[in-house]
Amino acid sequence: GQQVMQIPQYQHVQEGEDFTTYCNSSTTLSNIQWYKQRPGGHPVFLIQLVKSGEVKKQKRLTFQFGEAKKNSSLHITATQTTDVGTYFCAGPGNQFYFGTGTSLTVIP
């Protein structure tokens, strides 16, 4: 069946450092979505990418969809303590296939 993997599983960074999480799907995706879950919270939708090679920015966050539409990345520039949480990618299919998530810790 379809699988979506994310690396790394955990990432600790000093505040101000950059952070990147990578998402890889076993199949081609029609689109990919990213969600953020704060500690103790629930996943919240961040963005959707649809086109091959698409790049979208939200302030310090840059999202990229691969040319083959099988991988994606989220890059955060100059992390802040408010960026703490787990970032999930999700690809639609018969269901939404969520990646394993990357838990980001930002050390002040």
Partner 1 sequence: KAGVTQTPRYLIKTRGQQVTLSCSPISGHRSVSWYQQTPGQGLQFLFEYFSETQRNKGNFPGRFSGRQFSNSRSEMNVSTLELGDSALYLCASRNSNSPLHFGNGTRLTVT
| Number of chain residues interacting with partner 1 (CB under 8 A) | 18
DSSP state of 51: S
Candidates 17-25, 36-44, 64-72, 77-85; binding stretch for partner 1 (CB under 8 A): 36-44
E strands, the chain, are: 4-7, 10-14, 19-25, 32-37, 44-49, 55-58, 61-65, 71-76, 85-92, 96-98, 102-107
**Residues 22, 23, 25, 35: which binds partner 1 (CB under 8 A)?**
35
Nearer to partner 1, 41 or 53 (CB): 41
CA pair distance 8, 11, nearest whole angstrom: 7
Query: Quick check: 85 binds partner 1 (CB under 8 A)?
Result: no
Give the residues lining the site for partner 1 (CB under 8 A). 33, 35, 41-45, 48, 88, 90, 94-101
